[in-house]
Amino acid sequence: MRAEKKFITSEYVARLNASPFFIVVDYTGLTVTHFNELRSRLRKGGAELHVVKNSIFRVAAKEAGLADLSGVLAGQLAVITGAKDVSAAAKALKNFSAEFEKPKLKFGHLGSKRLESAQLLALADLPSLEVLRSKLLGALKAPAQKLAALINTPGSQLARVIKAKSEKAA
């Protein structure tokens, strides 16, 4: 392998190791303007889109220990990686595909598990990580609030009775 290809391969190995997920899409027929628009939408969700040569990506995935992608990489492919939430990237991709009918979702990997296009679309329908965290925090916080209110109720009722007696006596 030439030195340039080794450098590009090592760059992709580093990118795959830094990302908890990757999504492979077929960008055939996508114009440069639309491609740049997709990149900017993905960037808002903390993801990046890169065109990669199939043979280089196959070697990079194997070196990263993710998967043997022999036979599944064909056509004009781009790879989406990111350090944040896979559902945000999948949601941006799904919304873009709904608007422009391109790119076509091929498959993805989350950790070491392969995800087919239907599973990635299901991830796109999930709320964002921030929304899920806030819902979990609200669910954890609710019993504590009820307990505090329950503990304070007898004291506050006694205080109201004493206040009413004092106002009546005055």
**What digits encode the pLDDT tens for the residues 16-35?**
878 888 888 888 888 888 88
Q: Are residues 149 and 104 in the same domain?
A: no
Q: Tell me: do 17 and 58 sit in the same domain.
A: yes
Q: How far apart are CA 84 and CA 130, in angstroms?
A: 11
CA distance 49 to 82: 9
* Co-location of 106 and 134 in the same domain: no
Structure tokens at 70: 């022999």
Of all residues in the chain, the percent with pLDDT exceeding 90 is: 0
Count of other CB atoms within 10 angstroms of residue 15: 19
Residues 89 and 117 in one domain: yes
In this structure, the answer to whether residues 88 and 138 fall within a common structural domain is no
pLDDT tens-digit series, residues 129-162: 778 788 888 888 777 777 777 787 777 777 788 8
Q: What is the CATH number of the domain that holds 66?
A: 3.30.70.1730
| pTM of structure | 0.70
Residue 27 shares a structural domain with residue 78: yes
- At 23, give phi and psi (nearest 5°): -125, 130
Q: Cα(66)–Cα(83) distance, rounded to whole angstroms?
A: 16
**Closest listed residue to residue 94, CA positions, set 74, 71, 123:** 123
| pLDDT tens column, 49-84 | 888 888 888 888 888 877 667 667 777 888 888 887
Question: 120 with 142, same domain?
Answer: no
pLDDT above 80 (res 88):
yes
Shared domain for 170 and 89, answered yes or no, is no
What phi and psi, each to the nearest 5 degrees, are found at residue 168? -70, -35
Q: Where are the alpha helices (DSSP H) in the chain?
A: 3-18, 32-44, 54-63, 86-100, 117-124, 129-169
Are residues 6 and 56 in contact, defined by beta-carbon separation less than 8 angstroms?
no
Instruction: Give the 3-state secondary structure of residue 31.
Output: coil
Question: Structurally, how many domains does the chain consist of?
Answer: 2
Residues 63 and 106 in one domain: yes
Mean pLDDT of 103-114: 81
Q: What is the pLDDT of residue 170?
A: 67
Same domain for 98 and 113? Answer: yes
Q: 11 and 59: one domain?
A: yes
Are 19 and 60 spatial neighbours (Cβ–Cβ below 8 Å)?
no
Q: Which domain holds residue 29?
A: 3-126
Q: Do 48 and 65 belong together in one domain? A: yes
